[in-house]
């Protein structure tokens, strides 16, 4: 059984978590602000984690038993022949449909590392339980991803949590304490505007009452979640799964090197794993290697790539062809890769606008999303680029990549504060499974939770 990331329900602030778990554990039923602030795993969490581990192991065993019994069904490699499609007049001499070759990359689950009831597993269990999840419904992919996210933000978290605790634990916030927190947030790339908001909210609360460090951190988490979820109050929908049975087009934009192509590959993987018919348009015709690169990613998920092998061909024509192909085949998700660099910025923006016009014209009924990919390691610099794109591409969301690197994580707050756009996915690694839908609750926990220890 394959885990469906698009159907995954998040708990956390502002969203009702699932009903309390009816398990023999004492797992917390809701995402309360106090739920994940302890540094020692409670017996409830330990039981919850054990139950989740057993359930994952049992499923893996029964799946491997099925594989052994019916090898032809489960291990057969699907083959795909190139399929001709309707193409536009402009490009009919050169356009071809690149069909995904046959061998999808099969990534083995890192069973050995993840199936241990270690600190990382316990922390993931705590985060999932706090969202009202039941241990028997948790998938190994969720545990692995949460561990990865937490690892990626580890450096920032260790610096932040330790110092914040020391400051907020000293009673009402003094002027010095406020300045210290401000510095910490700015150093973590939170940006001036979001930092001001956080400080103002924190001051109001801590002036009113003296909070122990644990509660002050819990309150800080709540403030951060509120900022990250604010676009939902402004009309953006929380649920970001593509609609089934209709054409969804996701235009992926961003400057070169931020991870657009890689992200498209990872999205194609999530989409096919979640049961969507998916297609990729290779509309970065400026960089010669870009098409080749996106084709390799297409192969990994067995997703076809519509490309035009000519030199400097019109990317809008590729998109036109791809929409035609998608409509002819009943594709549900068309991912459009775009150039990150042209002769100059004005050209790049013009190209994006043109692609957008083609999409609006040829696929007016499609569900269109325009997603900006931002490299989290660029911090505030990435934001300036974003503002330019926001106008040209009518952005509807952001994908934050490279949170596993030197990124400080706080940039997520700056992005939402400055652009008013929701973060839809985050990437924390170069592998096919290293991009997942964004959850403010999980992100903030990964950024600010203390280490969890098994109680003696």
Ligand X SMILES: Nc1nc2c(ncn2[C@@H]2O[C@H](COP(=O)(O)OP(=O)(O)OP(=O)(O)O)[C@@H](O)[C@H]2O)c(=O)[nH]1
Among 9, 287, 329, 354, binds ligand X (CB under 6 A): 287
The residue range among 134-142, 253-261, 268-276, 303-311 that interacts with ligand X, by the rule CB under 6 A, is: 253-261
> Binding segment for ligand X among 40-48, 167-175, 388-396, 427-435 (CB under 6 A)?
427-435
Per DSSP, helices labelled H in 253-379 are 260-273, 288-301, 315-329, 345-362
The span of 182-190, 217-225, 380-388, 424-432 binding ligand X (CB under 6 A) equals 424-432
- Return the sign of the alpha-carbon dihedral for residues 217, 14, 235, 320: positive
Of 404 and 445, nearer to ligand X (C-beta) is: 404
Q: Which stretch binds ligand X (CB under 6 A): 27-35, 249-257, 317-325, 445-453?
A: 249-257
Indicate whether 427 belongs to the interface with ligand X (CB under 6 A). Answer: yes
How many residues lie near ligand X (CB under 6 A)? 21
Beta bridge partners of 426: 400, 436
Q: How far is the CB of 350 from ligand X (least distance, A)?
A: 17
* 157 near ligand X (CB under 6 A): no
**436 touching ligand X, by CB under 6 A:** no
Q: Is 401 in the site for ligand X (CB under 6 A)?
A: yes
d(CA 166, CA 95): 62
Is residue 351 within the footprint of ligand X (CB under 6 A)? no
Buried b (16+ CB within 10 A) or exposed e, 154-171: eebbeebbeebbebbeee
Q: Per rule CB under 6 A, is residue 257 in the interface with ligand X?
A: yes
Among 12, 17, 28, 259, contact with ligand X (rule: CB under 6 A): 259
For ligand X, the closer CB: 28 or 265: 265
Closest CA to 124 of 104, 107, 144: 144
By beta-carbon proximity to ligand X, the closer residue of 12 and 429 is: 429
The answer to whether residue 382 forms part of the interface with ligand X (CB under 6 A) is: no
Q: For residue 340, say whether it is annotated as part of any ligand binding site.
A: yes
Biggest distance spanned by C-alpha atoms of the chain: 73
H or E segment and range at residue 208: helix 192-208
Q: What's the min distance (Å) between Cβ of 302 and ligand X?
A: 19
Comparing CB distances to ligand X, the nearer of 261 and 308 is 261
Instruction: Determine if residue 177 is labeled as part of a ligand binding site.
Output: no
Is residue 301 involved in binding ligand X (CB under 6 A)?
Answer: no
- Distance, in Å, from the CA atom of 185 to the CA atom of 188, rounded to the nearest integer, reads 5
Instruction: Identify which of residues 49 and 305 has a Cβ nearer to ligand X in the complex.
Output: 305
Q: Which long-range contacts (CB under 8 A, 24 or more apart) does 388-393 make?
A: 388/345, 388/349, 389/253, 389/254, 389/349, 389/352, 390/419, 390/421, 391/349, 392/253, 392/348, 392/349, 392/350, 392/352, 392/353, 392/356, 393/251, 393/253, 393/352, 393/353, 393/356
- Is 102 annotated in some ligand binding site? no
Interacting residue ranges for ligand X, rule: CB under 6 A: 254, 256-262, 284, 287, 290, 340, 401-402, 404-405, 427-430, 434
């Amino acid at each position: 059984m394959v885990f469906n990331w698009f159907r995954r329900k998040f708990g956390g602030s502002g969203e009702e978590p699932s009903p309390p778990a009816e398990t023999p554990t004492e797992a917390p039923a809701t995402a309360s602000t106090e739920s994940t602030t302890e540094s020692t795993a409670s017996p409830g969490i330990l039981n919850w984690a054990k139950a989740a581990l057993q359930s994952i192991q049992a499923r893996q065993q029964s799946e491997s038993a099925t594989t052994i019994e019916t090898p032809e069904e489960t291990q057969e490699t699907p083959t795909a022949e190139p399929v001709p499609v309707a193409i536009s007049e402009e490009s009919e001499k050169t356009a071809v449909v690149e069909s995904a070759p046959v061998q999808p990359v099969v990534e083995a689950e890192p069973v050995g590392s993840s199936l241990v009831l270690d600190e990382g597993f316990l922390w993931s269990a705590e985060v999932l339980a706090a969202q009202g999840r039941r241990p028997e419904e948790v998938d190994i992919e969720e545990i692995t991803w949460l561990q990865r996210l937490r690892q990626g933000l580890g450096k920032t978290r260790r610096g932040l949590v330790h110092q914040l605790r020391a400051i907020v634990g000293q009673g009402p916030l003094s002027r010095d304490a406020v300045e210290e927190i401000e510095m910490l947030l700015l150093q973590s790339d939170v940006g001036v505007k979001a930092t001001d908001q956080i400080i103002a909210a924190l001051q109001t609360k801590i002036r009113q009452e003296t909070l122990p460090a644990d509660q002050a951190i819990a309150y800080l988490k709540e403030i951060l979640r509120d900022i990250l979820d604010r676009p939902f109050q402004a009309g953006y929908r929380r649920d970001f799964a593509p609609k089934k049975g209709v054409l969804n087009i996701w235009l992926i934009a961003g400057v070169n090197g931020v991870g657009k192509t890689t992200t498209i590959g990872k999205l194609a993987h999530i989409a096919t794993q979640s049961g969507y018919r998916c297609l990729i348009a290779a509309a970065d015709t400026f960089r010669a290697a870009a098409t080749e690169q996106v084709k390799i990613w297409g192969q990994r998920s067995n997703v076809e790539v519509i490309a035009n092998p000519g030199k400097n061909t019109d990317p809008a024509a590729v998109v036109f062809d791809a929409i035609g192909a998608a409509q002819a085949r009943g594709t549900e998700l068309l991912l459009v890769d775009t150039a990150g660099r042209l002769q100059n910025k004005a050209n790049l923006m013009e190209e994006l606008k043109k692609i957008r016009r083609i999409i609006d014209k040829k696929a007016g009924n499609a569900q269109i999303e325009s997603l900006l990919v931002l490299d989290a390691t660029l911090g505030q610099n990435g934001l300036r680029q974003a503002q330019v794109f926001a106008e040209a591409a009518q952005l509807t969301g952001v994908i934050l990549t490279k949170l596993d690197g030197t990124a400080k994580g706080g940039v997520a707050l700056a992005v939402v504060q400055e652009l008013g756009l929701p973060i839809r996915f985050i990437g924390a690694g170069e592998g096919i499974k290293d991009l997942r839908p964004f959850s403010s609750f999980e992100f903030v926990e990964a950024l600010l939770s203390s280490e969890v220890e098994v109680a003696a």
